[in-house]
A and B are shown apart, each in its own frame.
Chain A
């Protein structure tokens, strides 16, 4: 096992939601973010699904990394192995939700397959690998990143609802103004960086 950094997992959790939001400062998961944030309800569903998947994938990938990949010395295959882990987690989650909560499945179901190719999930897993997080740190970072993504998409969905009624230059309509909004959100989130002391 490698030496993991001396960072409090709780701080890591809050820092990954606010100060270094995986979307607003690492640009991960932007594609589905822009497409889905048109609609408040879908945003909620997708955000919840992403949070669950990143959290679970961070824990399982951690185990796969230290129990399989490193002992077998197949680090060069880690990208594709992580993708398979993510696809499997999404598949299992889909089945479990279908089984136990059909109503949740109805609202979440269509988003789950989208998540396999959401960069935020693989991004969080790769960050976990490079930063050598411990299991607890990985889980905190995973759920924090997911929650941060969820928070960002809910905020953006709310803002977009207001923008709909405002006059916007023709060339900026749709994606353009959304990107500018995300830029302002990113600036606002930088303001959090003084608040949380990651120690």
Chain B
């Protein structure tokens, strides 16, 4: 059973990464990736909501009538997102103000509904929790990497701390929207090429062995 959770974790973070493989959920978070701190907080929010949302929905899946399944799913997921919003408002007011509408938009992040439908609806609660967290992490890691590149090249800083010297001319394009699309595409390209090469190597090794 233990190895099973390991596999779910690996699936969410790498082999079935929500961004590389499923291309889901970039809507709500891509907009804040010009700042590493905001990205980390958003990714944490998504992980929290996906994990606990999947757990809850999996636990009550036998009780939900078919007719209202969708609306109950939205209700449960919104519950966790609103909790995140309340906590941010009370304890991190500056971040809450900067993120603006994007916290609420976690509700419509396709990963949440996607995992609820694709995994939690047919699996036990703990496995669903692991799956949700893994997907949140897989998503967060990619977006944080993008945010590090964007904040460094766009502001010369990381976590708001200036790293590059005075010689550094910030790339304004990195702060603006297009760069996020380019970086996601590049990350996708890298991941796909790597997977394709690993696959080819495995096939070649298999061919040698079978001969």
Contact = CB atoms under 8 A, between A and B. Distances in A.
Interface of A: 24-31, 34, 76-80, 82-84, 87, 116-123, 126-127, 129-130, 169-172, 175-177, 179-180, 182-184, 186-187, 190
Contacts of A25: 176-177
> Which of A79, A84, A117 is the most central at the interface, judged by chain B CB atoms within 10 Å of its CB?
A79
Contact of B109 (A119, A126, A130): A119
B101 A127 contact: yes
Main secondary structure of the interface of B (DSSP, over half): helix
A87 B101 contact: no
Interface stretch (B35-43, B78-86, B152-160): B78-86
Interface of B: 23-28, 30-31, 70-71, 74-75, 78-79, 81-82, 85-86, 100-101, 104-105, 107-110, 113, 173, 176-182, 184-185, 188-190, 192-193, 196
Contacts of B179: 183
Nearest to B19: A175
Decide if the interface of chain A is mainly helix, strand, loop or mixed.
helix
Nearest to B32: A27
12 contacts: A24-B177, A30-B26, A30-B27, A80-B75, A83-B108, A117-B113, A119-B108, A122-B105, A126-B100, A126-B104, A129-B101, A171-B193
Nearest to B194: A171
B23 A175 contact: yes
Contact of A123 (B101, B182, B190): B101
Contacts of A130: 100-101
A144 B32 CA distance: 23
A19 to B, nearest CB: 12
B189 A79 contact: no
Nearest to B111: A31
A182 B86 CA distance: 34
A170 B104 contact: no
B195 to A, nearest CB: 9
Contacts of B74: 80, 83, 87
A130 B97 CA distance: 10
B85 A183 contact: no
B178 A186 contact: yes
Contact of A77 (B25, B30, B82, B184): B82
